[in-house]
Amino acid sequence: MDITSKSIKDLRSMLDSKEISAKELTSEYFDRIKKYDGKIKSYITVTEEKAFADAEKAQEKINAGDADLLCGIPMAIKDNICTEGVKTTCASKMLEDFVPPYNATVMNKLEEKNIVMLGKLSMDEFAMGGSTQTSAFAKTKNPYDIERVPGGSSGGSAAAVSASLCTAALGSDTGGSIRQPSAFCGVTGLKPTYSRVSRYGLVAFASSLDQIGPVAKNAYDCGIILNAIAGYDPHDGTASKSATMDYTSEIGKGIKGMKIAIPREFYAEGIDEDVRKAVMDSAKIYESMGAELVDCSMPSLKYAVSAYYLISSAEAASNLSRYDGIKYGHRSTKGDNFNELICNSRSEGFGEEVKRRILLGNYALSSGYYDAYYGKAMALRQKIRAEYADIFEKCDVILTPTTPTVAYKADESISDPVKMYQADICTVTVNIASLPAISTTCGYDAKGMPIGMSIVGKQFDESVIIKVADAFEKQFNPVQPVL
């Protein structure tokens, strides 16, 4: 087995036993990036010099016997998370040359653990999209079939982990942007409870929905990374003060007696038969482990995508209003006055999908339409939260497909935004209700494309969903992509 395909747990053992050095491990990954990323296009910025400096510091910790679980582990970061001294572009011409003067809180936490940062990963522009084809710099491909999309917006993160171009990565999830690409690329992705991980230094898309989380080879690795990045942050006014824990502590305790909810609307019309069968077969495996499957309903699901796009676009229009070419961001060379300069800067700097959502958001917030659209979306948000609360009174976790289909070809759906938005039906409610969820691979279709299932938990129950995902992964043999 190629060393780059190993998990954090395995690499930790090899590093601590001196079977390989942090520098040698880093070299293995850069050799692979140079060999394959021209085809996959998962990276926007590769930070080779910084990575070897990180590896040297990590080796000192290892030699002193003071290595954390992530010490010396090569990771990569989605390009909307601020990294001091390293470009953070959000895959947009608007921020093409932006070099942050500070780190996001999650980066400070990971650097304290002495990770090796390999670079910054591609994404949909400003995290708006589900394909990573709206990136201005690197339109990422799916490692299982380079004619297909990797999903999005964290498509670079999922593709890089899937292709073993990093051991693990950070992504961000606003409506499924960690879980959907993880499903498409055959890896495991965790969206923590809203407020569990600081958003300070994450370039905002929709502030009430965004959450940073890990993408890795398996649930255990996701738990290790969550242990490092979770916790209160005084720089983030929405960060929770509730206590953190070891999110891997429940692994191996078994799921006998657990009640797993199966909401029938998630398995209805619009879900491909291959996807439905793979997830239901997985449910039967859980049943064989001693879990009880509970049929339930979530009637508001049919309105969820509409509510999500109204809320997220309204918040995006507000957040992106700061990019005017005056304070920072792309500045046009055209314009005879202040208003023309701003208009031209924004027109040139933003891509089509970002412009579409700004227009939709401003329309929903405008006088005469606020109550009809945004107000109703917020009311529906409370309804969705209530339906989840009702299910969790009876059940421990919820099992759903992560996506209605497997990864589609790059020339499909991209030109039809409504069709693409509807593909988020299985993921957006989790963000609307501020819940944690993890996606892991549960099967493959006839063409060998991965199928993902999501395990949704109660607020701050990350350890439980990680345990449930890990229990299935121990029964499942994943198929690695052939590059």
Instruction: Please report how the helices 219-229 and 105-112 are oriented relative to each other, as an axis angle in degrees rounded to 10.
Output: 110
Please work out, in degrees rounded to the nearest 5, the angle formed at the alpha carbon of residue 124 by the alpha carbons of 121 and 129.
145
- Order of all β-strands in the sheet with 259-263: 43-46, 116-121, 74-78, 168-173, 211-216, 188-191, 437-444, 450-456, 397-401, 259-263, 292-296
Question: What is the distance, to the nearest Å, from the Cα of residue 24 to the centroid of all Cα atoms in its chain?
Answer: 28
Question: What is the distance, to the nearest Å, from the Cα of residue 284 to the centroid of all Cα atoms in its chain?
Answer: 27
Contact 440, 185 (CB under 8 A): no
3-state helix, strand and coil shares in percent for the chain, rounded to the nearest 5: 40, 15, 45
Question: What is the distance, to the nearest Å, from the Cα of residue 386 to the centroid of all Cα atoms in its chain?
Answer: 25
**Residue for token pair 């993890």:** 438
Instruction: For 153-195, give the DSSP string.
Output: SSHHHHHHHHTTSSSEEEEEESSSTTHHHHHHHT-EEEEPPTT
In whole angstroms, give the CA distance from residue 377 to residue 371.
Answer: 9
Active site residue ranges: 78, 153, 177
Nearest Cα to Cα of residue 42 among 176, 177, 185: 185
316 membership: H or E segment, kind and range: helix 301-319
SS3 (DSSP) at 293: strand
In whole angstroms, give the CA distance from residue 176 to residue 305.
Answer: 11
Cis-peptide into 153, omega within 30 deg:
yes
